[in-house]
Amino acid sequence: MRHTLPIAPQFYVTAPQPCPYLPGRMERKLFTALQGEGAQRLNDGLSKQGFRRSQNVLYRPSCADCAACLSARINVAEFVPSKSQRRALRHNAHLRRRVTSPWATETQYALFRRYLASRHANGGMADMDTFEFAAMVEETPIRTRVVEYTDSNTGELVAVCLTDILDDGVSMVYSFYEPENQQASLGSYIIVDHVNVARENDLPYVYLGYWVPGSPKMDYKSRYAALEVFADNRWQKVRDPSDFRAQAHPLVNDPISEQVANIALPDCRAPRPKSV
């Protein structure tokens, strides 16, 4: 018997669990599978509505009593680096960017382990083994690239970003870098260089993931000029980060059924993304 995938994606909700960003709050996600011939178009369409990809799943925060997590992106045409971000570009001018297919290596994993041990020793990825790391990098049904940054003098790998190619931008799925060289501001450098990647490919946005006002872990995203966030079902410019303070109230979010009903599913005739 032959089975076919449903035409419309099916949406599900995770069970509540402690929020990793704001103490005392519970996290819940709305998610759907990313598979089949329409995976790229689905990822393109739902990324514009605040969703993020994790392997073959698209998800968006859907907490019952909190709306703090805001999907963030940089408007490339309007972006101007700050003084500290220009300094990061100068400090890392010796790095060379190399864009490859999504294939995990032992060198990447070793750098990943050093990064976690230094920055996120108690985080959810702290126990990730080599097979789980390979799955994070390689299990993708869409156009994904691994962007490596190597020292042109030593050949050493110092930073990596797993990057999705969308029809309107690049999405930084996960990045990690050499933690010992803190003065180099490698995290800032990777983001600003992805703005350059988007410009080189005539793509208007760099998607950064979620910004969580009030969370020290995620506050850095508000430091980038031309930042936009997806709030109240539309993209809004961030002129003053204090305007988007974390909200916590039982009536903040619509019921799950209304949230799903308001999701615009992509047109199957949408154009293919640009090559990177």
Mean of pLDDT values over 58-70:
89
C-alpha closest to that of 180 among 162, 159, 155, 150: 159
163 with 139, same domain: the answer is yes
Q: Are residues 113 and 27 both part of a single domain?
A: no
Per-residue pLDDT band at 54 (split at 50, 70, 90): very high
Is 85 domain-assigned?
Answer: yes
For residues 62 and 100, state if they share a domain. Answer: no
Is the overall model pTM greater than 0.85, yes or no? yes
| Burial class of residue 234 (count of CB atoms within 10 Å of its CB; 0-12, 13-18, 19+) | exposed
pLDDT at residue 120, as a whole number = 65
96 and 175: one domain?
Answer: yes
Whether residue 55 is found in the same domain as residue 99: no
Each residue's pLDDT tens digit, 148-167: 999 999 999 999 999 999 99
Residues 166 and 80 in one domain: yes
Please give the residue range of the domain that contains residue 89.
Answer: 73-242
What's the DSSP call for residue 34?
-
169: in domain: yes
* Straight-line distance from the first to the last Cα atom of the chain, in angstroms, rounded to the nearest whole number: 40
Same domain, 219 and 89: yes
Q: Pick the more confident residue, 163 or 21.
A: 163
189 pLDDT higher than 60: yes
Asked if residue 137 lies in contact with residue 146, where contact means CB atoms within 8 angstroms, the answer is yes
Domain count, the chain: 2
Beta strands 95-100 and 29-33 are unpaired
- DSSP β-ladder status, 169-177 and 205-211: parallel
Q: Please tell me the distance from the alpha carbon of residue 258 to that of residue 192, in angstroms, as a whole number.
A: 37
Residues 217 and 100 in one domain: yes
Q: Report yes or no on 208 lying in a domain.
A: yes
| 209-253 tens-digit pLDDT | 999 988 888 888 999 999 999 988 899 999 888 887 766 555 567
Whether residue 1 is contained in a domain is answered as no
Is the CB of residue 110 less than 8 Å from the CB of residue 156? no
Q: What is the pLDDT of residue 37?
A: 87
- Whether residue 105 is found in the same domain as residue 190: yes
216 shares a domain with 130? yes
Shared domain check, 212 and 145:
yes
The Cβ of residue 91 has, within 10 Å, a number of other Cβ atoms equal to 16
By percentage, how much of the chain surpasses pLDDT 90?
Answer: 66
pLDDT of residue 155: 95
